[in-house]
């Protein structure tokens, strides 16, 4: 009888196991082969992955050789912006934002060595991820998937058209087609997801697989949020020698706001009068007329800064000469998409009329932005409650008030009225003022301010209705977050509901425009 055949000599064992520290060099070399032209992992990235969440880092091993891997972390996906990038969701590749109490497994990479493709290695890694999600009782797996064949079609179709074509099997994409076959559904398409992914043209498909075995074990629940970050500049007036010096100061504060990921940066009323300090014109009315010569430079400066630093700018206000030689006090909104709007000051103070001959505007405007509807009411205008009510009825959720006051009494009028408008209209209000002095400039010689962000007064808002405030009379910025979704909820179910409870049968405001 012939000897039994030893089948073990023909066996090829493929296993999926957690990554180990000794695997790191092999994985980096494999990544260089899998993704040529893209920046590979650094050793410290993978060490951080293993230190923080080793069970989420998997490798496929065939006959002792690593032929594939995948990396992931746990997050609460609702906490991330729809437009998030790979760097956002991985903390620049270190996954230090991993949340063991989160609800979603987020996959940040899958790769298979080119020599071992068509062996279902990727499928095995995906199945191992799904099993991990079941073991950890996670709601879903979310991935930001590359579309590496998009570059072949980008001239004749949009990312959306390409994804539709792949979904209908009209085009094959090695990543997206694979993900669809593995039970993932499309959530959205994110631009600028991976800056070095030239084949995908930086786009990624956000995909999700839902764990049908998920069972809630916590009483925690989430409410939606619409956060807006505001940087308020309390600007010190000082003697300068050129427009360039003014521009340098403005760019510095815009840079600060951008670094803090602010949605808006707010400058004070007529802070461009700082330019008068080098004009050497003693007559205030003549100095103001000369100041209007800088209007185009002012607009070009702020438009460039808004786009370059990706922040919406309330450019304080500036004296502008228009038709019939009339001079107006105008606040400009410079959106980060490069578009511009303007609001004329409607109520002119006796001081402005006496010294500068300023003319009044006559329209209450509300502006659409990428953070909702806003209004601008310059200094004295916030002291007239009708204007804020008109803006609120037009949909404004935030009223920005650039101001310039020379003494504490004037400042307090602006502050108290701004806080009152926040309560009356259930909106957020923001005031930004000038400090310092210009000793040689008539009618702009002294300033007093304490800038701030104010909210309605109710339980869900900041204590005392103050989101934040600067110290009085020194140059500084204050950065605060407001939430438009909290505002919406409180208008519907707050302790008091000023907007809903108005007696339209008894009184009303008639806006003549």
Sorted by where each begins, the domain ranges of the chain are: 14-210, 228-493
β-bridge mates for residue 237, sequence order: 436
- If one counts every other C-beta atom within 10 angstroms of the C-beta of residue 150, the result is 24
Residue 27 clears pLDDT 80, i.e. is over it: yes
Ramachandran category for residue 456: left, alpha or beta (phi over 0 → left; psi -120 to 50 → alpha): beta
Residue 9 clears pLDDT 80, i.e. is over it: no
Q: What's residue 137's pLDDT?
A: 95
Distances (CA, A) of 494 to 342, 422, 426, 460: 33, 14, 10, 9
Q: What's residue 59's pLDDT?
A: 95
Span between the terminal Cα atoms of the chain, in Å: 107
Q: Would you say 64 and 26 are in contact if contact means Cβ atoms under 8 Å apart?
A: no
Q: Would you say 41 and 28 are in contact if contact means Cβ atoms under 8 Å apart?
A: yes
Q: What is the mean pLDDT of residues 27-33?
A: 93
Q: What's residue 280's pLDDT?
A: 84
CATH class of 228-493: alpha beta
Distances (CA, A) of 343 to 315, 316, 346, 377, 378: 11, 11, 9, 8, 8
Question: What is the C-alpha to C-alpha distance for residues 290 and 282, in angstroms, rounded to an integer?
Answer: 12
pLDDT band, very low/low/confident/very high, at 455 (cuts 50, 70, 90): very high
Residue 219 clears pLDDT 70, i.e. is over it: no
Residue 4 clears pLDDT 90, i.e. is over it: no
Residue 269: active-site member: yes
Top-confidence residue, 224 or 91:
91
Q: In sequence order, which ranges of 20-84 are alpha helices (DSSP H)?
A: 24-34, 43-53
pLDDT tens sequence across 171-185: 999 889 988 988 999
Q: What is the mean pLDDT of residues 203-217?
A: 91
Residue 442: active-site member: no
The DSSP 8-state label assigned to residue 437 in this structure reads: B
Residue 42: active-site member: no
Bridge pairing between strands 428-436 and 227-237: parallel
Q: What's residue 2's pLDDT?
A: 56
Q: What is the mean pLDDT of residues 502-509?
A: 90
Q: What is the mean pLDDT of the chain?
A: 92
Q: What's residue 130's pLDDT?
A: 95
Q: Does domain 14-210 have CATH number 3.20.20.60?
A: no
Percent of the chain with pLDDT over 90: 72
pLDDT band, very low/low/confident/very high, at 438 (cuts 50, 70, 90): confident
pLDDT tens sequence across 319-347: 999 988 899 999 999 999 999 999 999 99
Q: What is the mean pLDDT of residues 421-429?
A: 97
Residue 232 in tokens: 């308020």
Bridge pairing between strands 312-314 and 264-266: parallel
pLDDT band, very low/low/confident/very high, at 444 (cuts 50, 70, 90): confident
Top-confidence residue, 314 or 38:
314
Q: Which of 70, 371, 379, 404 is catalytic?
A: 379
Q: What's residue 12's pLDDT?
A: 67
pLDDT tens sequence across 355-392: 899 999 999 999 999 999 999 999 999 999 999 999 99
Distances (CA, A) of 420 to 403, 424, 428, 498: 16, 6, 11, 12
Q: What's residue 463's pLDDT?
A: 87
Residue with tokens 């000599």: 9
Residue 1 clears pLDDT 80, i.e. is over it: no
Q: Which of 34, 70, 109, 269 is catalytic?
A: 269
Residue 74 clears pLDDT 90, i.e. is over it: yes
pLDDT tens sequence across 108-161: 999 999 999 888 898 999 999 999 999 999 999 999 888 989 999 999 999 999
Q: What's residue 153's pLDDT?
A: 94
Q: Which of 130, 139, 202, 345 is catalytic?
A: 345
Question: What is the C-alpha to C-alpha distance for residues 41 and 327, in angstroms, rounded to an integer?
Answer: 59
Question: What is the C-alpha to C-alpha distance for residues 55 and 72, in angstroms, rounded to an integer?
Answer: 9
Q: What's residue 193's pLDDT?
A: 87
Q: What's residue 196's pLDDT?
A: 83
Residue 474 in tokens: 């020194």
Residue 209 clears pLDDT 90, i.e. is over it: yes
**What is the torsional sign of CA 185, 191, 193, 194?**
positive
The DSSP 8-state label assigned to residue 116 in this structure reads: G
pLDDT tens sequence across 400-415: 999 999 999 999 999 9
């Amino acid at each position: 009888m012939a000897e039994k055949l030893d089948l073990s000599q023909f066996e090829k064992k493929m296993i999926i196991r957690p990554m180990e520290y000794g695997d790191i060099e092999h994985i980096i070399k494999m990544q260089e082969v899998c993704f040529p032209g893209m920046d590979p992992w650094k050793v410290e990235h993978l060490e951080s992955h293993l230190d923080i969440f080793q069970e989420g880092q998997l490798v496929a091993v065939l006959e002792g050789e690593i032929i594939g891997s995948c990396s992931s972390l746990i997050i609460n996906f609702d906490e991330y912006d729809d437009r998030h990038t790979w760097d956002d969701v991985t903390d620049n590749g270190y996954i230090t934002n991993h949340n063991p109490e989160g609800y979603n497994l987020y996959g940040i990479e899958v790769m298979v060595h080119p020599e071992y493709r068509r062996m279902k290695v990727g499928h095995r890694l995906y199945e191992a991820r799904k099993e991990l999600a079941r073991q950890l009782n996670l709601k879903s797996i979310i991935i930001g998937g590359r579309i590496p064949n998009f570059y072949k079609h980008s001239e004749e179709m949009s990312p959306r058209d390409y994804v539709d074509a792949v979904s209908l099997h009209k085009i094959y994409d090695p990543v997206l087609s694979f993900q669809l076959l593995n039970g993932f559904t499309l959530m959205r398409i994110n631009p600028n997801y991976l800056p070095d992914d030239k084949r995908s043209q930086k786009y990624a498909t956000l995909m999700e697989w839902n764990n049908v075995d998920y069972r809630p074990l916590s009483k925690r629940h989430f409410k939606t949020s619409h956060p807006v970050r505001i940087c308020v500049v309390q600007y010190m007036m000082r003697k300068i020698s050129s427009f360039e010096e003014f521009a340098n100061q403005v760019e510095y504060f815009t840079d600060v706001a951008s670094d803090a990921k602010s949605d808006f940066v707010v400058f004070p009323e007529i802070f461009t009068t700082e330019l008068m300090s080098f004009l050497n014109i003693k007559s205030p009315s003549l100095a103001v007329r000369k100041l209007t010569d800088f209007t185009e430079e002012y607009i070009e400066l702020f438009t460039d800064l808004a786009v370059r630093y990706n922040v919406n700018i309330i450019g304080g206000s500036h004296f502008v000469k228009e038709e019939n030689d009339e001079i107006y006090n105008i606040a400009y909104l410079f959106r980060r998409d490069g578009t511009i709007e303007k609001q004329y000051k409607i109520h002119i103070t006796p001081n402005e009329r006496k010294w500068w001959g300023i003319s009044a505007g006559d329209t209450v405007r509300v502006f659409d932005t990428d953070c909702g509807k806003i209004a601008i009411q310059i200094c004295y205008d916030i002291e007239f409650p009708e204007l804020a009510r008109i803006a609120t009825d037009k949909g404004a959720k935030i009223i920005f008030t650039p101001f310039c006051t020379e003494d504490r009494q004037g400042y307090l009028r602006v502050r108290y009225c701004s806080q009152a408008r926040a309560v009356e209209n259930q909106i957020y209000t923001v005031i930004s003022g000038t400090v310092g002095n210009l000793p040689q400039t008539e009618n702009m010689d002294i300033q007093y301010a304490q800038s701030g962000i104010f909210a309605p007064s109710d339980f869900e808002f900041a204590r005392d209705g103050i989101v934040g405030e600067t110290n009085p009379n020194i140059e500084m910025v204050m950065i605060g977050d407001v939430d438009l979704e909290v505002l919406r909820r409180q208008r519907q179910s707050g302790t008091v509901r000023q907007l809903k409870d108005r007696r339209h049968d008894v009184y009303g405001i008639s806006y003549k425009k």
